[in-house]
Chains A and B, each alone.
Chain A
């Protein structure tokens, strides 16, 4: 009898591990917008992978070279002068949705989400918090967020910061998971 109880506890613990669901995305969308006195710059990439677990863990990795601009010169300058993307080809975020208990992955709807974690850009890692949302739409999960990043926090320099490049860049995340 005792052994059966132990077995049951064992088996149920397995099930609870199983209940942890991981959603993944291979081609999410991340874009940024810089508004400075001399020009506005906008670029986006789909070279974005992300994983989201139902316990709230969330991670993104993206390839900087994947950012596409309307203007080739802007794209070249972004890669060479600001992001040094040959040296730092990736950026990423790793963290948690802190209000995960308020999100029901089994029920359709859009839930506000608070995210906290480490953002790595240009080889520099900083703690950040951001607000966003998790939309549950049948089997699909969509994570969205918009947050600001100060370029100097990530050692991104250059004489044109504040003139052609805004000192704070707005980043938009829109990522569909399966």
Chain B
């Protein structure tokens, strides 16, 4: 009888400790890092085309996924917070892929072809990638 009670108490303690550990691990889930993810490879022209053809379908394919986009740099800027942004051109002069970068890009010039990996936020007037990094070949 005594043993049984003891056993139950031990199981209970283990269970509670286990629950706390699970909760703790879940709560401290590491921040998502695009560098650690394999990106869907696509050209900026194709990505824009897919979004223009059907935004809902494109969102199913790309939204919140890591995307690795190849394209020609149309514009390099800083946004109001001081983060670097790069726009990759597409076949449509009015629409591009607007990427907000984590770090200032080095050796990136307008007109050059580069690869950017970022997380797709969806489409505004451009397709948007966030937390992006320039991928060196």
Contact = CB atoms under 8 A, between A and B. Distances in A.
Interface of A: 26-29, 46-47, 49, 61-63, 65-66, 68, 71-73, 75-76, 79, 85-86, 89-90, 174-176
A55 to B, nearest CB: 21
Interface of B: 26-32, 59, 63-64, 79-81, 83, 85, 98, 100, 119-126, 128, 130-131
B85 A27 contact: yes
Given A71-B27, A72-B29, A29 B81 contact: yes
A50 to B, nearest CB: 10
Contacts of A29: 80-81
Given A72-B29, A72-B31, A89-B59, A65 B100 contact: no
Contacts of A49: 124-125
Nearest to B120: A65
A131 B131 CA distance: 31
A93 to B, nearest CB: 14
B64 to A, nearest CB: 5
Given A27-B85, A72-B31, A66 B130 contact: yes
